[in-house]
Chain A
Amino acid sequence: MAFPLFLEKIEKLFGRTDNSRSVVKNRLQLVLMHDRADIPAPMMELMRAELLAVLSKYVEIDQQQLEVNLERADGTIALIANIPIMRVRTVD
């Protein structure tokens, strides 16, 4: 048995979760979250921009790393924002 194949078997044995079943489940859950929340993409974009504008008054944000997404938490849908702060602006 070739070594990579052997590794694959081992992975299966330990139930690694990159099989197509868990991939499809995750994709489906994510798309359904958006469907159910019924927030159109342009509105998400607008929310993101306005959040950014408000927060930028107080802190400097790494815009490249900013993530605003819908996620599922305890059976409900939550808007989760991951906002890396580069530095706090000095208040006048």
Chain B
Amino acid sequence: MSRVIVITSGKGGVGKTTTTANLGMALANMGEKVALLDADIGLRNLDLVLGLENRIVYDIVDVVEERCKLRQALIKDKRNPNLALLPAAQTRDKTAVNPDQMKKLVEDLKEEGFSFILIDCPAGIEQGFKNATAAATEAIIVTNPEISSVRDADRIVGKLEAEAELKNPLLIVNRVRPAMIKNQEMMSVEDVQEILAIKLLGVIPEDDCIITSTNRGEPVSMSETSRAGQAYRNVARRIRGEEVPMLNLEESFGFFSRLKKLFAVS
């Protein structure tokens, strides 16, 4: 039985693609067979975050328009053969695919024996959102502790329920900065969760490693030392049904920074 999860947010730039790549890699490293589907047609990015951009021959539109077989378009990740990517088309737009074609595509992916199919949803609430949510049976909403992304996330909660019949979406709060929260300069994870009133799946701290790992095309969930990587692995474990406590963000200050703080001259 495959699980089909759409990763969405409403607002752009909150970390949907990074989240999709990292959860995909983390789940694959836990032995799951994972297909990642980039539904952001015209603005292809998931391949870059995964470092697979040089291996694209065919894309999602080629499959839908039957210019190639699904298997030919799927790119197997050499670091972990459990992970495969179906890239978006770069030279077409959202109207190149419709929700029925997406459903068919996902059915075909299920036939291939994937245990997880993660769909990277484009920003916005138009055709691309409708395509990406059409075939999903579960939804993850990514947001940042910041006013506009939380507002958009709230819209998405409503739209998922009303239009896509996706109830009970799960929340990932990304780019959390514990020091700012501590100083009352940022909404806390609890604030965001209370406002959106959906179940919390994970908290990802702001981490410079995201930029450096994306520079290299290596998802941060592969890194043992990165805080964000650890947080993504925890989310993957929770998706698989494990009980994993939320990261204690206070710890991310580390012993030395706490020591520095202690002696800091105000």
**Among candidates A24, A35, A36, residue contacting B187 with C-beta atoms closer than 8 Å:** A24
| B141 proximal to A (CB < 8 A) | no
Interface residues of B in 112-155 (CB under 8 A from A): 146-147, 150-151, 154-155
Which chain A positions have C-beta within 8 A of B184?
A: 12, 19-22
| Pairwise interchain contact A29-B154, C-beta atoms closer than 8 A | no
> A66 vs B190: C-alpha distance in the bound complex, in angstroms?
35
A65–chain B nearest beta-carbon distance, Å: 29
Interface residues of B in 7-52 (CB under 8 A from A): none
Which chain B positions have C-beta within 8 A of A12?
A: 184
**Among candidates B181, B186, B195, residue contacting A28 with C-beta atoms closer than 8 Å:** B195
A2–chain B nearest beta-carbon distance, Å: 12
**Among candidates A19, A20, A24, A36, residue contacting B154 with C-beta atoms closer than 8 Å:** A36
Query: Would A21 and B185 be within 8 Å (CB), given that A32-B154, A36-B158 are in contact?
Result: yes
| B191 proximal to A (CB < 8 A) | yes
| A27 proximal to B (CB < 8 A) | yes
> A12 vs B182: C-alpha distance in the bound complex, in angstroms?
12
A29–chain B nearest beta-carbon distance, Å: 7
| Pairwise interchain contact A28-B147, C-beta atoms closer than 8 A | yes
| Pairwise interchain contact A19-B195, C-beta atoms closer than 8 A | no
Could you show 21 A-B contacts with beta carbons less than 8 Å apart? A12-B184, A19-B183, A19-B184, A19-B185, A20-B186, A21-B181, A21-B186, A24-B187, A25-B191, A25-B195, A28-B147, A28-B150, A28-B151, A28-B187, A31-B151, A32-B151, A32-B154, A35-B151, A35-B155, A36-B154, A36-B158
Chain B residues near A (Cβ < 8 Å): 146-147, 150-151, 154-155, 158, 181, 183-188, 191, 195
Q: Which 6 A-B pairs have the closest CB atoms?
A: A19-B184, A21-B184, A28-B147, A20-B185, A24-B147, A32-B154
